[in-house]
């Protein structure tokens, strides 16, 4: 009898040098990040994040925001092939959307979850195959980091100091160790890095 493979929980987020995923203007203040999100390094990084993932976990805001944008990219034959690859994966894969306000899923192949992300992801890990990608949803990533449930971090580090905004790594997280699985630096100073949790 062979032992079933345990699914990895992976997470993807872009951060400034001071560890922020938005600026002092709030969630929509992405001025320190957006210029680096369309570089070759960022696109190569995006191609990596979904290679082994079969489930996307999203917060409501990302799910609703991604719907219009990535669905259009999936149909755009002129789009960068890396963008189209990710878009087609996102449209076609299983999606779990966390929301306390939505009553029906915003995408095909998606379902609503309104419980604890730790509990829901634990259940996902216990069934199915492939990585579970927590896709750019910082509040969900923070909860999973607090529970030490993230196995791989895909980070795009943007060479700017935002000087305000929300941080991914807050005081109170459990101490953990990570190893570098991949890194790539771009000509504008952006760095794509993949960290694996050392257990």
- Contact status, residue 150 vs residue 123, Cβ threshold 8 Å: no
- Contact status, residue 58 vs residue 50, Cβ threshold 8 Å: no
Q: How far is CA 170 from CA 14, 20, 140, 143, in A?
A: 16, 10, 14, 11
How confident is the model over 128-177, as pLDDT tens digits?
899 999 999 999 999 999 999 999 999 999 999 999 999 999 999 999 99
Determine the pLDDT at residue 5. 64
Q: Which tokens is 180 given? A: 């570098």
Residues of the chain with pLDDT > 70: what percent?
97
- pLDDT bucket at 3, cuts 50 / 70 / 90: very low
Q: How far does CA 16 lie from the centroid of its chain?
A: 15
| Residues listed for the chain | 199
pTM across the whole model:
0.93
Determine the pLDDT at residue 4. 53
Task: Tell me what the mean pLDDT of segment 51-56 comes to.
Answer: 96
Among 3-7, 157-161, 177-181, the least confident range: 3-7
- pLDDT bucket at 63, cuts 50 / 70 / 90: confident
Residues of the chain with pLDDT > 90: what percent?
83
- Contact status, residue 97 vs residue 60, Cβ threshold 8 Å: yes
CA dist., res. 102 & res. 105, Å (int): 7
Domain architecture of the chain: domains with CATH: 9-198 (3.40.430.10)
Task: Tell me which of 138 and 67 has the higher pLDDT.
Answer: 138
CA dist., res. 135 & res. 61, Å (int): 12
Q: Does residue 59 surpass a pLDDT of 80?
A: yes
Task: Tell me what the mean pLDDT of segment 52-59 comes to.
Answer: 96
């Amino acid at each position: 009898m062979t032992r079933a493979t345990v699914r990895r929980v992976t997470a993807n987020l872009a951060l400034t040098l001071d560890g922020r995923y938005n600026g002092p203007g709030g969630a929509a203040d992405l001025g320190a990040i957006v210029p680096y999100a369309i570089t070759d390094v960022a696109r190569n990084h995006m191609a990596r994040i979904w290679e082994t993932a079969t489930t996307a976990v999203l917060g409501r805001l990302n799910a609703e925001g991604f719907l219009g944008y990535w669905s259009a990219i999936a149909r755009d034959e002129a789009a960068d092939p890396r963008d189209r690859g990710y878009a087609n994966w996102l449209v076609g894969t299983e999606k779990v959307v966390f929301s306390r306000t939505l009553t029906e899923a915003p995408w095909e192949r998606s379902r609503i979850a309104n419980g604890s992300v730790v509990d829901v992801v634990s259940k996902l890990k216990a069934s199915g195959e492939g990585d579970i990608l927590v896709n750019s949803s910082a509040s969900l990533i923070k909860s999973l980091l607090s529970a030490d449930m993230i196995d791989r971090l895909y980070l795009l580090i943007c060479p700017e100091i935002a000087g305000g905004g929300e941080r991914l790594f807050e005081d109170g997280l459990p101490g953990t160790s990570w190893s570098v699985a991949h890194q790539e630096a771009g000509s504008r100073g952006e760095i794509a890095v993949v960290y694996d949790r050392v257990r």
